[in-house]
Structure 1
Amino acid sequence: MENIMTENDRVQCKLLGFLLEYPAASWNTELADVNEIVETVNDCRRRQLLRSFLTYVESTPLLQLQETYTAAFDLDPATSLHLTYHLLGDGEDRGKALAKILWVYHREGYDAAIDELPDFLPMVLEFLALCPEPEEATPLWSCLSAVAELAERLQKDKHPYGGLMELVAEIVHPCVITHPDSISKEV
């Protein structure tokens, strides 16, 4: 199979997965490492979007970061980071899609966190960073199709996470368009 993601894309997936996690108190100690990684991003526009987000994080109290994150990603279903929710809502079909994604993880040897559903965007990004071209990953490509709409919503609202989601959409877009049949067939 042809490699869709570059090594730089994989590094950015790992970074974006980290930045899209709930803001923890440990963020302050990890920001120096994150800033170093951002400086290795070879695309100037992407690097600037990441710098802008990090400036926001560094200038915002942790409690406010946590409130902003929770309001957007935990309390608003329209911007949930659980990707299959955007495609299937809550129900039996979503449960089947989640099981299929988990199967892909296990097949590829990825040890998925047990405290999150397998369609949680930070987890999906970490998986792509470690295994960018999984075999038989149709359920995964299908759920990634929701990222562009999610990015559009956050950008429209001028949400602090809008730029990050725009980067995610840009990075995963080649995966989605390379597997267009999966969108309608599999999830």
Structure 2
Amino acid sequence: MRTLKILGMLLGYPSGEQIKALPECLALLRKETWLPEASLTEIEALADWMQGQDLMDLQEEYVDLFDRTPSLSLHLFEHVHGDSRDRGPALVDLHNLYQEAGLMIAVHEMPDYLPLFLEYLSVLPPEQAAHDLSGAIDVIAAIGARLKNRKTPYAAIFGALEEAAERKPDDKAIAAALAEDAGAPLDNQQLDREWTEQFAFENSAQTNPEGGCPAAEDLVERMKESVNQAGTRSS
């Protein structure tokens, strides 16, 4: 299923190759008919906007959103436990899950990177992909809501992912996430503080007795559960 892989591609760092591929990608999205018309229209508007931007301006916009605003990070596990070492075991489990599905990733790639997660989902049967996507949909929806607050066309991708998931996001969880951080851009002092806290996390002992992050592990377990259920159905 190419729809999810295309949505992941649209979330990648902007490049000339990405922009050139947009017309073909839009045609494939319509051909696959996995998204409702409203989502397709919003994705097409995003593509039009991207094509109308100077590439360097588009890249700067991307970095401001996804690299310089922690609450918009495309690394899913950062939203459940920041940059602490607690991410490690969950990342390993997720990496193993990808390998079981036949997806090989580069050494420098982090398994919780949303475009990579969507590429993994794209190799699964549609029903299983929709189920696995639901395991991360609350985090995805919170990012999408923050992007809407920023009035950026990138929000269209997250709205489409909500439509593609098996279940709808938990409204209370999204409201709580927005109350904590609505996605506003950080000023220089906040950026410096975030940088400092990143290293503070690395030197702290905030793990559970088994050394993992419960929230992150729960996300992995939801994904594993769907894989195991699919294996049971096929046997």
Q: Which category of TM-score, normalised to the shorter sequence, fits these structures?
A: 0.7 to 0.9
Listed one character per residue, the Cα deviations across residues 106-131 of structure 1 (whole Å, up to 9, x for unaligned) are 12221123332000000000110112
Listed one character per residue, the Cα deviations across residues 21-64 of structure 1 (whole Å, up to 9, x for unaligned) are 10112123312312322332532111101111011011111111
Select between 49-58 and 90-99 the one with higher mean Cα deviation: 90-99
Partner of 1:5: none
Check whether the contact 1:141–1:183 (CA below 8 A) recurs between aligned residues: no
1:43-54 alignment to 2 at 5 Å? 43-54=36-47
Structure 1 pair 114–174 and aligned structure 2 pair: CA distance change class (3 A)? farther
Structure 1 pair 31–69 and aligned structure 2 pair: CA distance change class (3 A)? same
**SS of residue paired to 1:146:** helix
Q: How much has 1:184 moved relative to structure 2? A: 8.0
Listed one character per residue, the Cα deviations across residues 57-114 of structure 1 (whole Å, up to 9, x for unaligned) are 1111111110111111111111000000001111122111111111111122211233
1:122-161 alignment to 2 at 5 Å? 122-132=115-125, 133=128, 142-161=135-154
| Equivalent pairs, count | 171
Kindly report structure 1 stretches of 4+ aligned residues shifted beyond 4 Å.
140-144, 182-185
Check whether the contact 2:77–2:87 (CA below 8 A) recurs between aligned residues: yes
Structure 1 pair 175–117 and aligned structure 2 pair: CA distance change class (3 A)? farther
Q: Rg bigger for which structure?
A: 2
Identical aligned residues as a percent: 28
**SS of residue paired to 2:4:** helix
Partner of 1:17: 8
**SS of residue paired to 1:73:** helix
**SS of residue paired to 1:145:** helix
1:60-79 alignment to 2 at 5 Å? 60-79=53-72
Listed one character per residue, the Cα deviations across residues 142-186 of structure 1 (whole Å, up to 9, x for unaligned) are 445311111111112212211112112332353989xxxx96862
Structure 1 gaps, min length 5: 1-9
| TM-score (norm. length: structure 1) | 0.80
Matched, 1:171 2:164: yes
Structure 1 pair 55–99 and aligned structure 2 pair: CA distance change class (3 A)? same
1:36 alignment partner AA: A
**Aligned-residue CA RMSD in angstroms?**
2.7
Matched, 1:186 2:218: yes
Structure 2 gaps, min length 5: 171-213, 220-235
Partner of 2:207: none
| TM-score (norm. length: structure 2) | 0.65
